[in-house]
């Protein structure tokens, strides 16, 4: 092969490489991404303005998590609304009633101060409901009264009717479920309270497996709500699964 043959020989085609561009090799994904317009825009955003560092961007608001309040250096759960359910006075001894009132008072203050609770929900029935409504109001929280029907206190003693009306007047919000007596409205009231509550305060004897309180507790468990259980028989206050950081 002569000199002229060298000049006329067919050379393999090679794509010119720009001075400031990467060499494209098979499988060089990084090089391909850098030449893609969208990739270049992302790179410019990451580098930030000329002469500066990368731009810090906050995550979208919908992905932010609210920081939980802390007490004594430990993380606790935040419960804005606390709903109560529990036994009627006829199912409790005088000593049990005194102990329950003291525990409801303690828990209302603890929820307010340590868990950010601002509202207490009450079904406005005799016993636990009215006691919780009173302690909620005394602790300076808003009271949300859930009334099954306006005739709720009609069969009660006069002093109990007076207390019911007093607390109803103190309520920041009243939800009424019907205009006349119907047992279905009692269950609707309980369901509404569970839907409103962030945490459930349940005065419940474990020996009582029937009735409105036991039914409400079972529903709260199915919903996965945290439950502060006040057991007057065992004199214990425990926290059921659903809230792992708090201590009642």
Region of 218 please: left (phi>0), alpha (psi -120 to 50) or beta. alpha
Average pLDDT over residues 169-196: 97
Residue 147 to residue 215: CA distance in whole angstroms: 18
Residue 216 to residue 230: CA distance in whole angstroms: 14
- Confidence (pLDDT) at 243: 44
* pLDDT higher than threshold 90 for residue 159: yes
CB 225 within 8 A of CB 194: yes
Per residue in 58-112, pLDDT tens? 444 333 323 333 444 455 689 999 999 999 999 899 999 999 999 999 999 999 9
Percentage of the chain exceeding pLDDT 90: 60
Facing residues of 86 across strands?
203
Most confident of 54-58, 74-78, 172-176, 238-242: 172-176
Average pLDDT over residues 43-67: 47
Supply the mean pLDDT for the chain: 79
* pLDDT higher than threshold 60 for residue 14: no
- Confidence (pLDDT) at 235: 95
* pLDDT higher than threshold 70 for residue 215: yes
Domains and CATH numbers, the chain: 23-61 (no CATH), 70-239 (3.40.50.450)
Within 131-194, strands assigned E span: 142-147, 173-176
- Confidence (pLDDT) at 206: 84
Average pLDDT over residues 180-192: 96
Q: Which of 7-11, 143-147, 198-202, 223-227 has the lowest mean pLDDT?
A: 7-11
Residue 142 to residue 136: CA distance in whole angstroms: 7
Q: Which of 72-86, 172-186, 226-240 has the lowest mean pLDDT?
A: 72-86
- Confidence (pLDDT) at 228: 97
Q: Furthest-apart CA pair in the chain: how many Å?
A: 125
């Amino acid at each position: 092969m002569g000199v002229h043959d060298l000049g006329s020989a067919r050379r393999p085609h090679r794509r010119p490489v720009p001075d400031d561009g990467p060499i494209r090799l098979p499988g060089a994904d990084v090089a391909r991404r850098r030449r893609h317009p969208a990739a270049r825009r992302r790179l410019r955003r990451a580098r930030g303005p000329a002469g500066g560092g990368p731009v810090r961007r906050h995550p979208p608001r919908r992905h932010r998590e609210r920081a939980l309040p802390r007490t004594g250096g430990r993380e606790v759960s935040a419960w804005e609304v606390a709903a109560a359910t529990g036994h009627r006075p006829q199912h409790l001894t005088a000593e049990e009633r005194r102990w329950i009132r003291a525990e409801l008072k303690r828990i209302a203050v603890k929820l307010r101060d340590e868990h950010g609770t601002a509202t207490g929900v009450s079904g406005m029935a005799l016993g636990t409901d009215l006691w919780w409504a009173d302690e909620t109001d005394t602790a300076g929280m808003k009271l949300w009264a859930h009334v099954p029907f306006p005739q709720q206190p009609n069969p009660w003693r006069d002093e109990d009717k007076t207390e019911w009306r007093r607390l109803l007047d103190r309520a920041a919000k009243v939800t009424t479920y019907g205009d006349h007596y119907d047992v279905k409205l009692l269950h609707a009231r309980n369901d509404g309270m569970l839907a409103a509550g962030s945490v459930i305060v349940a005065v419940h004897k474990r020996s009582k497996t029937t009735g409105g309180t036991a039914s409400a507790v079972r529903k709260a468990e199915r919903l996965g709500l945290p439950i502060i259980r006040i057991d007057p028989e065992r004199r214990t206050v425990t926290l059921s699964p659903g809230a792992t950081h708090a201590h009642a």
